[in-house]
Amino acid sequence: MSPLPRVNIDEPKYDQNSYLGRAKHFFLLTNPLNVLASDSKLEEARQIVLRYRAGCSRVQDHRRRVARQIPVRFGVPSGDRGEADSHRAHGCANAHEHNYYRRELRNGVTLFDEHSNEMGISKKAAVVGISTVILSRIAMAIPGMTLTPVLMNVLEKRGFLAKYPRSNAPIQTLFCGFVLLFATPLGCAFFKQRADIEVDSLESEVRDTIRKKRPDLETVWFNKGL
């Protein structure tokens, strides 16, 4: 009986060349039920991964980074203390993200060939990747910013908010959080995580370096970020 082929657990489970596959991938990563996993279950999963890798020490953390986008964007300004708390949380997250992207713009991102061999570092690729991230972030925010006011207007016209004035902030927060459960993975799926760029469109010095290593290479890949 032949052994089963090894599975690359660092690769996404679903096809990343289609929007549906990417959406499934990010729905899996941002599943809020993951926070209910106990420490023992997390440790058990970690040990399974470590045993499977048989000594490989590289651990990816982009699941954690994607998942935190939901709680960070959960708060909706409501005119009370919740607004200040939401702004502080959002500001801290944005400060971290801005430093990360500023560093990428200054230093560039690493480029790889089809075999994941490092080919160079490009600032232009960083600009392309960050631009797609910005578009995805805008797409994530649009549903909550448009549907939440519609819901609140309906409740106000029906007299619900006048009858239960303290429900204003909790309803906005819960509804926006519910919307983000879908908007976050769907927005992240707009663009491939492993983005590609033509070698001819890179900076001249980067292009020359790649040509010396691989004269036949026309496309390189990089992690666009989240």
Q: What is the pLDDT of residues 138-156, one digit of tens each?
A: 999 999 999 999 999 999 9
Could you give the 3-state DSSP secondary structure of residue 109? strand
Q: For every one of its 226 residues, what pLDDT tens digit does the chain have, with 9 covering 90 and above?
A: 455 566 677 778 888 889 999 999 999 888 888 788 888 888 888 888 888 777 564 444 444 555 555 444 444 444 444 444 444 444 455 445 555 666 778 888 999 999 889 999 999 999 999 999 999 999 999 999 999 999 999 999 999 999 998 999 999 999 998 999 999 999 999 999 899 999 999 999 999 999 999 999 999 999 987 7
CB 68 within 8 A of CB 93: yes
Q: Which helix (H) or strand (E) holds 197?
A: strand 194-198
Place of tokens 């392309």: 128
Q: What is the pLDDT of residues 87-105, one digit of tens each?
A: 444 445 544 555 566 677 8
The pTM for the full model equals 0.66
Neighbours of 168 (CB within 10 A): 18
Q: Which helix (H) or strand (E) holds 179?
A: helix 168-188
The per-residue pLDDT for 42 is 84
Distances (CA, A) of 82 to 66, 85, 109: 23, 5, 37
**Quick one: tokens of 177?**
């959080």
The per-residue pLDDT for 15 is 86
Treating both helix axes as pointing N-terminal to C-terminal, what angle do 19-29 and 168-188 enclose, rounded to 10 degrees? 130
Q: Which helix (H) or strand (E) holds 21?
A: helix 19-29
6 — phi, psi (to 5°)?
A: -70, 145
